[in-house]
Amino acid sequence: MTDTLLPHSDLLELKRWNTPTIYNGWEQITRHDVTSEGINLEECCDFMPQMGPMVGYAVTLVIEPSNPLHKRDHPTAWSDYRRYVASVPGPKIVVVQDLDKPRVIGSFWGEVNANVHRALGCVGTITDGAVRDLDEMTGAGFKAIARRLCVGHAHVVPVRWGCEVRVFGQRVWPGALIHADKHGFLVIPDEDQAGLLEAARFMDSNECRTVIAGARDTAGKTIDQILADLDAASLAFSAAARARFHAGGEW
């Protein structure tokens, strides 16, 4: 985790935008590969899209619901795991790697765990396994991005936690800042967190002032005029991005 957490007001403002908008800002300030790092590389499903985006710091967990030996070998696992979650500053997103995938047979998540984790400062989960009790989880205000739904919990118990995990083709480390919604998720590297809000705000305004304005202001114009205006708007968009971030951006 980065040594300095973002102010809560910044997290609230980041939550006002969708994840693609946050990505547009992030790609301007990062030195990471924006085609393979940070973003989910496999399809995931937001089961509570009506809740909008979630923003928080990762707490990580590994499960293997098919294996009954974990309960025998780790009798205090639930209590020890909850103490780990409680020890981390929030807001928190629980990122769960399911070792059974793709043959997912049991869910860590349901009504009880959603309420327990809300009490511990968590706002939602990203899991490459399953969720259940969907209405009850929604009622608890606990957002879930997952592979699928399922009926049972099988032999689920915390196996490892506070370790790097890999979900939907992307690695996630404890304390990573995550922005997620119905489009997928973005794991923001520590060094990119401080400038993320300003970059997202700038690029969103840049779009509104240039390429979106060029596409909307078309009444009474010929197609040639529209095309010329769109070319000019794209140039203006890129020029503004280069002037601020020394990168051209999408257009």
Residues 103 and 132 in one domain: yes
Q: Which tokens go with 127?
A: 């899991």
Residue 113 sits in the same domain as residue 233: no
Residues 133 and 12 in one domain: yes
Q: DSSP letter at 176?
A: -
Determine contact, residues 130/106, Cβ cutoff 8 Å: yes
178 shares a domain with 84? yes
Query: Do 157 and 224 belong together in one domain?
Result: no
User: pLDDT at position 247, please?
Assistant: 76
| pLDDT score, position 251 | 66
Q: Are residues 160 and 217 in the same domain?
A: no
Domain containing 21 equals 8-192
Look at residue 173 and tell me if it is in a domain: yes
Residue 151 within any structural domain of the chain: yes
* Digit-coded pLDDT (tens) for 163-184: 999 999 999 999 999 999 999 9
Q: In 3D, which of 2, 112, 117, 134 has the Cα closest to residue 57? A: 2
**219 in the same domain as 157:** no
- How far apart CA 84 and CA 173 sit, in angstroms, is 14
Partner residues linked to 57 by β-bridges: 92, 177
pLDDT at residue number 89: 94
Length of the chain equals 251
What is the DSSP secondary structure assignment for residue 190, as one 8-state letter?
G
Residues of the chain with pLDDT under 50: none
**pLDDT, tens digit, 9 for 90 and up, residues 110-123:** 999 999 999 999 99
Residue 3, domain member (yes or no): no
169 plus 221 within the same structural domain: no
Regarding whether 15 and 133 lie in a shared domain, the answer is: yes
Per-residue model confidence (pLDDT) at position 4:
72
Write the CA distances from 187 to 126, 171, 172, 245, integer angstroms: 11, 8, 7, 21
Same domain for 89 and 34? yes
Is 204 domain-assigned? no
What three-state secondary structure class fits 169? coil
Q: What is the pLDDT of residue 229?
A: 94
Residues 125 and 217 reside in one and the same domain = no
Q: Is residue 202 domain-resident? A: no
Q: Say if 56 falls within a structural domain.
A: yes
CA 146 to centroid of chain Cα atoms: 12
How many domains does the chain fold into?
2
Statement to judge: residues 33 and 139 lie in one domain: yes
